[in-house]
Amino acid sequence: MTPAQAGRVIWTVVSIFIVESLVFGLSVLPAFYFWTWTLTWAIPDFPLLRPAIVATTLVPAYLVFSVALVALSALSTRVCGWRTAPNGMWKLRDLEWPLLDWSRYMISTHVVRVLVGTFFRASPLWTWYLRWNGARIGRGVHINSLSISDHNMLEFGDGVVIGENVHLSGHTVEGGLVKTGPVRLSRFVTVGLGSMVGINVEAGEKCQIGALSVVLKGSKLDGNAIYAGVPARKIDRSTPAAVVTE
Ligand SMILES: CC(C)(COP(=O)(O)OP(=O)(O)OC[C@H]1O[C@@H](n2cnc3c(N)ncnc32)[C@H](O)[C@@H]1OP(=O)(O)O)[C@@H](O)C(=O)NCCC(=O)NCCS
């Protein structure tokens, strides 16, 4: 590693540590005040009543923390300019700035994923987070997956549904290179659970991607069509499926 590379890596680690410490600390603050305020409530002196009420306020305090973390983390990446640069092709071992900016964006996303995502995926809070963190997302979008990253590379139209455990991001690592590219899903596209969608993929309106499918990078999927399999292929629906009758 050259001295310039070592300097860049050290600054990357120090800056992400400082920013994440600030973001986490400030997110805890409202929850902390909320929780300590509940300790001041005048509660009748029944056995176990005060501990029970104080314990019950932990979940609302976590909710307050989650909203604050989502908002402050998204604000921090915006202010610091940590984004995935489009059409990137960076050698991992070169440790250049675009790669390091990308890694800070990934780490920041990962912190929110671990602390908030597990409970809030598929909820509006998760959609708001992706939107505030750079994604262009329409209305009525449901994202039931934690493996969605490079938010500024994503464009989802109204009514898009992303199933559980879908891997969809704006980067891929191949042969020591990090490559980046957008993913564009038009209105009412469904990505079936457990699927993988590569970079530079575009899907037309009402396209359905079957469960456990792999949509190869650069694929252009037609609207009103069904794709499934590994790799995903268009399914011919000219012959209606057999209807089972008693
Ligand atoms: C792809 C999908 C939409 C097709 O549903 P459909 O239109 O009712 O089609 P069918 O079930 O009749 O299947 C049509 C053909 O596609 C094949 N197929 C269906 N889903 C497939 C999948 N995930 N992978 C591979 N092949 C698949 C079927 O075997 C069938 O093949 P055949 O014609 O040779 O017999 C559906 O199977 C699916 O995977 N939905 C995902 C739902 C989901 O995960 N939503 C996310 C939120 S829960």
Q: Which residue has the CA at smallest separation from atom 12 of ligand 1?
A: 241
Per-residue model confidence as pLDDT tens digits over 160-178: 999 999 999 999 999 999 9
Q: Is residue 245 part of a domain?
A: no
Residue-averaged pLDDT of the chain: 93
Residue 239: per-residue pLDDT: 54
Confidence tier at 66 by pLDDT (50, 70, 90): very high
Residue 15: per-residue pLDDT: 96
Per-residue model confidence as pLDDT tens digits over 203-222: 999 999 999 999 999 999 99
Q: Is residue 200 part of a domain?
A: yes
Q: Is residue 240 part of a domain?
A: no
Q: Could you give the CA distance from residue 28 to residue 66 in angstroms, rounded to a whole number?
A: 9
Q: Is residue 137 part of a domain?
A: yes
If one residue of 235, 243, 244 were mutated to test the ligand 1 pocket, choosing by the most ligand atoms within 8 A of its CB, it would be 235
Q: Could you give the CA distance from residue 64 to residue 85 in angstroms, rounded to a whole number?
A: 32
The burial of 3, by beta-carbon neighbours within 10 Å (0-12 exposed, 13-18 middle, 19 or more buried), is given as exposed
Distance 236 CA to ligand 1 centre (A): 11
CATH number assigned to the domain comprising residue 173? 2.160.10.10
- Selected residue with higher pLDDT from 141 and 241: 141
Residue 44: per-residue pLDDT: 83
Say if ligand 1 is within 6 A of residue 207 CB.
no
Residue 242: per-residue pLDDT: 47
For residues 187-195, give the mean pLDDT. 98
Domain of 193, in residue numbers: 3-234
Confidence tier at 48 by pLDDT (50, 70, 90): confident
Q: Is residue 242 part of a domain?
A: no
Q: Could you give the CA distance from residue 151 to residue 132 in angstroms, rounded to a whole number?
A: 9
Q: What three-state secondary structure class fits 142? A: strand
Q: Is residue 239 part of a domain?
A: no
Number of domains in the chain: 1
Residue 148: per-residue pLDDT: 97
Q: Could you give the CA distance from residue 99 to residue 116 in angstroms, rounded to a whole number?
A: 26
Q: Is residue 101 part of a domain?
A: yes
Q: Is residue 243 part of a domain?
A: no
